[in-house]
Amino acid sequence: MANIVPASEFRQLFLTHRPLMDVRAPVEFIKGAFPQAINLPLMNDSERTQVGTCYKQLGQQAAIELGHTLVSGNIKQQRIDAWCQHIQQQPNSFLYCFRGGLRSQLTQQWLQHAGINIPYIQGGYKAMRGFLINTIDCAPAKNQILVISGSTGSGKTEFIHQRKDAIDLEGFANHRGSSFGSQITAQPSQINFENNLAIALLTHQQYHQTSNAKLIVEDESFLIGRAAIPHNFFQAMQQAPVVIVEQSFEQRVQRLHQEYVVNMQAQYYQQLGRDAGANAFAHYLQQSISKIRKRLGGKQHDELQHLILQALQQTTLDGHYAWISQLLAEYYDPMYQYQLEKKANKIVFKGSHQAVHQWLDEHA
């Protein structure tokens, strides 16, 4: 096996989910990493900072000497042992640092002295990250984007999950897109959102290589929570044909009740216990409605907030149907109709879930 992995292998590296050993400092890893990577740093954050300061003040050679002083003896052996343990578990791993420079080369050398040969990635994290950004920018030219739209609660995400030619933007963002869309777990960093999107696009392209293959995505705003859809990709979505999934008002109310009330309460209870979970669930609902106070207007916001408080005081969850129905009828549906009018010339089909699936199977 070659000791250096060239950029020509990046596509296959991500498609096969090749295990990666990231030897950057933890602070670098937290900002952004790849889903198949594990962080086993050559230097911790403090050591990296000291070496960086030394480099600026005294130059490269002094910084290298300081690094060897800081990571020596037992500390060095502990790092090597951690690398060896990982490679024993994942023997086909590659390693990388930020640019594929001294940290990658030194890690490789130390492992060779321990009897292990592991390739490092040419250009490191920076080169792989650039490859993924380029993948997103070029995706609209590979497959025509088709946008699935529909009123709030019409089951667009559910529909997306049923299609092998679709990708789930909200899943990568860990957010459902609306004011009530936050999840119990945190959203990924912007970099990790983009990395996961790019890898999904690579996978889609691998299995949909025909000239007429479509890339199906859900209709989204530029921001999904705090995750921003990359500019070029979002612009392509804005210009793409639109397919509308339709469901009755009653079906949509029922789905929102299940998703934002029943499921969320159960998740808070499971994570925090009943008492703390009930308080967290109540805070989630009240905070979510407060996010759109300005758009609702003070009077309507206060009415909805009152209905939510009333529902939270009941022993069953049925009271939540009242505020969901009012919010849908008086806020989300009028907003959707306004947005739909602006994209009317892009709509190519509308119908039930079943009808849209059938149309896509015939045309996509």
Residues known to be catalytic: 97
Question: Which H or E element spans position 200?
Answer: helix 190-207
Q: Are 147 and 235 in contact (CB under 8 A)?
A: no
Instruction: Count the residues in the chain.
Output: 364
Q: Please say whether the beta carbons of 146 and 364 come within 8 A.
A: yes
User: Nearest-CA neighbor of 278 among 294, 290, 264, 289?
Assistant: 264
Q: 3 phi and psi, to 5 degrees?
A: -80, -15
Q: What is the DSSP string of 84-149?
A: HHHHHHSTT-EEE-SSSSHHHHHHHHHHHHTT----EETTHHHHHHHHHHHHHHHHHHHSEEEEEE
Tell me the β-bridge partners of 217: 147
Q: What is the CA radius of gyration of the chain?
A: 25
| Close Cβ partners of 327 (under 8 Å, ≥ 6 residues apart) | 289, 304
Report CA-CA distances (Å) from 333 to 73, 218, 294. 66, 17, 17
- d(CA 188, CA 174) in angstroms, rounded, equals 7
In Å, how far are 144, 154, 319, 327 from 256, measured between CA atoms?
A: 31, 9, 13, 11
Q: 3-class SS at 202? A: helix
Q: What are phi and psi of 215, to 5 degrees?
A: -115, 110
**Pairing between strand 223-224 and 227-228?**
antiparallel
Using alpha carbons only, give the angle 299, 301, 307 rounded to the nearest 5 degrees.
105
From the CB of residue 241, how many other CB atoms can be counted at a distance below 10 Å?
15
